[in-house]
Amino acid sequence: MRQWRIGDATVVRIEELLGHSSFPPAGYLAGFEREKLERHLGWLVPDHYDPAADALVTSVHSWLIRTRHHNILLDSCAGNHKNRYWWPRFHQLETPYLERLRGAGVAPEHIDIVLCTHLHADHVGWNTRLQDGRWVPTFPNARYIFSRTESDYWDPGRHPGEADDPHRSICYRDSVLPVIEAGQAQLVDGAHAIDDSLLIEPAPGHTPGHVLLKLRSPGGGGVFCGDVLHHPLQIYAPHWNSQFCMLPEQARATRRRVLEYCAAERNLLLPAHFGPPHVVAVKRSGDGFEATFVQGAPLGT
């Protein structure tokens, strides 16, 4: 387990899964050009692409952000025991995720904020755990922050005619609604400051209410961008969307805006699905961008 220092904050990646994505590159990235992939094979293999399987390598992880005031868990992965029949990679998982969180020095009751960048199945699962046949909040002392736009979009009660959408009929009901019913949810509109160093901003495109988190600390900054980017190839091809991006033009505009900000402000980029070492420094390269991966230090050093 590794950590990154961003100013006076400490960031630790909590892994749930690491391996092949569910789709080959041409099926995963809209607009994919194989020659661009081949141009970057030197650094893509083996941590980001497996040429033998023609498979992108992706991670599913949370970011644990420890500041002077908060223990924040950003995105809660897919979760254990969840019915995800339409997505085999996430169906009925049994992972040691909570043990890994404890290994980072934080028990579930120590988390005081959970922020979901959006409400897809692989970003909400550990919001709840199964207890005596019921889904209950995993983090009993946490305030769970969701975009109101995002919550309204996926809330099955607001879309009775779309009950066959499993993200509404299953994910929202088992991983979001129990948090709301427990009185632990905070729905935010637009930009929202958690404190003077943490700012939530809208980042629509992948989903209608997708948000990101900016960490601004003396001596450093970072952007936790969720699914604004899915794979590091998108740094070199920002016009490539993932097949899951619901609003393609907005997704492209948001992606470029985030890359421009990171390059101009020298902020680290911390996405939800990049393979090792998971964290990137972005800089301008002509009209585009290029990436330098940033290795964290061993936890505790």
Q: According to the model, what pLDDT value does residue 167 have?
A: 87
Q: What is the pLDDT along the chain (301 residues), one digit of tens a residue?
A: 899 999 999 999 999 999 988 778 999 999 999 999 999 999 999 999 999 999 999 999 999 999 999 999 999 999 999 999 999 999 999 999 999 999 999 999 999 999 999 999 999 999 999 999 999 999 999 999 999 999 999 999 998 878 788 988 899 999 999 999 999 999 999 999 999 999 999 999 999 999 999 999 888 999 999 999 999 999 999 999 999 999 999 999 999 999 999 999 999 999 999 999 999 999 999 999 999 999 999 988 7
DSSP string, the chain: -EEEEETTEEEEEEEEEEEE-SS-HHHHEET--HHHHHHTHHHHTTTTEETTTTEEEEEEEEEEEE-SS-EEEE---S-SS---TT-GGGTT----HHHHHHHTT--GGG--EEE-SS-SGGGTGGGEEEETTEEEESSTTPEEEEEHHHHHHH-GGG-GGGTT-HIIIIIIHHHTHHHHHTT-EEEE-SSEEEETTEEEEE--SSSTT-EEEEEEETTEEEEEEETS-SSTHHHH-TTPEETT-SSHHHHHHHHHHHHHHHHHHT-EEEESS--TT--EEEEEETTEEEEEE-PPEETT-
The residue written with tokens 């975009």 in the block is 147
From 195, 198, 177, select the one nearest 187 (Cα to Cα).
Answer: 177
Which amino acid makes up residue 103?
G
Domain ranges across the chain:
2-298
Q: According to the model, what pLDDT value does residue 161 have?
A: 78
Please give the biggest Cα pair distance in the chain. Answer: 57
Q: According to the model, what pLDDT value does residue 105 have?
A: 97
Q: According to the model, what pLDDT value does residue 286 have?
A: 93
Q: According to the model, what pLDDT value does residue 218 have?
A: 84
Q: Which CATH architecture has domain 2-298?
A: 4-Layer Sandwich (3.60)
The model's pTM: 0.96
